[in-house]
Amino acid sequence: MTLVYPVQSLAAHPPRLSPAYKSTVKRSPTKPLIPMRHTLSELSGPVYGHETVREHDHDLTIHGKSEPIGERIIVHGHVLDEDGRGVPNALVELWQANSCGRYVHVVDQHPAPLDPNFTGAGRAQTDAQGYYRFVTIKPGAYPWGNHHNAWRPAHIHFSVFGYSFVSRLVTQMYFPGDPLFPFDPIFNSVTDEKARNRMISAFDLDNTQPDWALCYRFNIVLRGRNATPMENK
């Protein structure tokens, strides 16, 4: 299978300069990016060994002396290419705030408690069908300094590797129905509503585990489509 990475696929991404998100003003290039053809340097990408992802790295609730505080959730889904095919053996990294909206990071000074039983980092590798699964705690919303009374909607950060260095994706997964959506300049930096909705996980009752944890499904679509598209209808 040979994949191509059309530049048009990038239209779903937010513009790098999104002034409502103030930090973009000094951190986005002002000169045009230079188009170039992809060479093997862009079309290849790293492969990881089994040592990269350890057996329990996908479960963020079992690394402390006891269970973290908060609402236990399952987050699962498929990593897909633009044709909807699962991407096997993709590395999925995740990090997030705890249930109170506080990150372990030393720079985070939000006056909400840290949880000694929750670091908030996880890692998984997709199976042959592109499927991944995490067990974690639902993160809290938290304030930030972008503007008066700015709060980030609850979100989980994802970092995903596909087949190539140009399919690399860092994104954030949101939760359905968050009342903070209309006010968040990062979420709304994605101007197309359909594209924005692809960052929102779906509540998944079928995979919610009775008496144990709610489940959310989050499919992640990476750049890359078949070089020779076939009519399949």
Partner 1 sequence: MSQAKPDGVTPSQTVGPYFAYGLTPGGKYDWNDAFTNNLVTADTSGERIRVEGTVFDGDGVPIVDCMLEIWQADAQGRFSDPQDKRALPNSSFKGFGRIGTDAKGGYAFDTIKPGTVADPDGKPQAPHIVIAVYARGMLLHLYSRIYFDGEAANAADPVLALVPADRRATLIATRQPGNGNAVYRFDIHLQGDKETVFFDV
Which residues between 107 and 136 bind partner 1 (CB under 8 A)? 107-108, 119-123, 129-130
Is 154 one of the binding residues for partner 1 (CB under 8 A)? no
Q: Shortest distance, CB of residue 208 to partner 1, whole angstroms?
A: 20
Which residues between 47 and 76 bind partner 1 (CB under 8 A)? 47-48, 52-54, 63
Is 89 one of the binding residues for partner 1 (CB under 8 A)? no
Q: Which of 168, 178, 204, 214 binds partner 1 (CB under 8 A)?
A: 168
Overall residue count recorded for the chain in this entry: 233
Q: Which of 94, 100, 124, 215 binds partner 1 (CB under 8 A)?
A: 94
- CB nearer to partner 1: give 106 or 210: 106
* Binding string, residues 3-42; x marks residues near partner 1 by CB under 8 A: --x-x-xxxxxxxx-x--xxxxxxxxxxxxxxxxxxxxxx
Cα gap 163→90, rounded to integer Å: 8
Q: Shortest distance, CB of residue 186 to partner 1, whole angstroms?
A: 6
Catalytic residue among 5, 103, 163, 174: 103
CB 17: neighbour CB atoms within 10 A?
14
What letter represents residue 63's amino acid? H
Cα gap 97→175, rounded to integer Å: 14
Catalytic residue among 102, 152, 163, 174: 152
Active site residue 155: yes
Identify whether the C-beta of residue 70 lies closer than 8 Å to the C-beta of residue 110.
Answer: no
Catalytic residue among 157, 168, 198, 217: 157
CB under 8 A: which stretch of 67-75, 133-141, 192-200, 204-212 binds partner 1? 192-200
Q: Which of 4, 43, 69, 112 binds partner 1 (CB under 8 A)?
A: 43
Cα gap 203→76, rounded to integer Å: 11
Q: Which residue has the tokens 């959506």?
A: 181
Identify whether the C-beta of residue 222 lies closer than 8 Å to the C-beta of residue 80.
Answer: yes
Residues 6+ apart with CB under 8 A from 113: 100, 102
Active site residue 142: yes
Q: Which residue has the tokens 């990038």?
A: 10
Identify whether the C-beta of residue 114 lies closer than 8 Å to the C-beta of residue 104.
Answer: yes
The catalytic site residues sit at 103, 142, 152, 155, 157
